[in-house]
A = this chain, B = another copy of it.
Amino acid sequence: MLWSSQLQTHIPKLSSIFSFSFRLRFRLRFRYKYSTMATASALAAAAAGTSPCKVVLAATVAKSLLEEVQTDLKALQRKPKLVGFLANNDPASRTYAQWTGKSCKQYGFDFELREVDKDELEEAVIAANEEDAVDGGIIYFPVFGTKQDQYLQQILDMSKDVEGLSHKYMFNMYQNIRFLDPEKTQKSILPCTPLAIVKILEYIGVYNKIIPYGNRLFGRTIAVVNRSEVVGRPLAALLANDGASVYSVDINDIQHFTRGEGVRMHRHHAVDTDFKVADVIPKCDVVITGVPSKAYKFPVELLKDGAICINFSSEDNFGPDVMNKASIYVPAIGKVTIAILFRNLVRLCQNREAKAA
Contacts and interface: CB of A to CB of B under 8 A. Distances in A.
Interface in A189-234: 203-205, 208-212, 215, 218-220
A306 B56 contact: no
B54 A219 contact: no
A92 B245 CA distance: 47
A54 B56 CA distance: 29
Interface in A247-294: 261-264, 283, 285
Contacts of A219: 285, 304-308, 327-328
A205 B209 contact: yes
A28 to B, nearest CB: 30
B261 A208 contact: no
Interface core residue of A208, A209, A285 (most chain B CB under 10 Å)? A208
A305 B210 contact: no
A30 B219 CA distance: 29
A307 B208 CA distance: 12
A208 to B, nearest CB: 4
A320 interface: no
Please state the number of chain copies in the assembly. Answer: 2
Contacts of A175: none
Interface string A321-355: 00011011000000000000000000000000000
A262 B305 contact: yes
A84 to B, nearest CB: 35
A199 to B, nearest CB: 14
Contacts of A211: 54, 327-328
A136 interface: no
A8 interface: no
A56 B205 contact: no
25 contacts: A52-B215, A52-B243, A52-B263, A52-B264, A54-B211, A54-B212, A204-B210, A205-B209, A208-B327, A208-B328, A210-B328, A211-B327, A211-B328, A215-B327, A219-B304, A219-B305, A219-B306, A219-B307, A219-B308, A219-B328, A245-B305, A261-B325, A262-B305, A262-B324, A263-B306
Given A52-B215, A52-B218, 20 more contacts: A52-B262, A52-B263, A205-B209, A205-B210, A208-B327, A210-B328, A211-B327, A211-B328, A218-B306, A218-B327, A219-B304, A219-B305, A219-B306, A219-B307, A219-B308, A243-B327, A245-B306, A262-B305, A262-B324, A263-B306
Interface of A: 51-52, 54, 56, 203-205, 208-212, 215, 218-220, 243, 245, 261-264, 283, 285, 304-308, 324-325, 327-328
Q: Which 7 A-B pairs have the closest CB atoms?
A: A219-B306, A219-B327, A218-B327, A218-B306, A205-B208, A52-B263, A204-B210
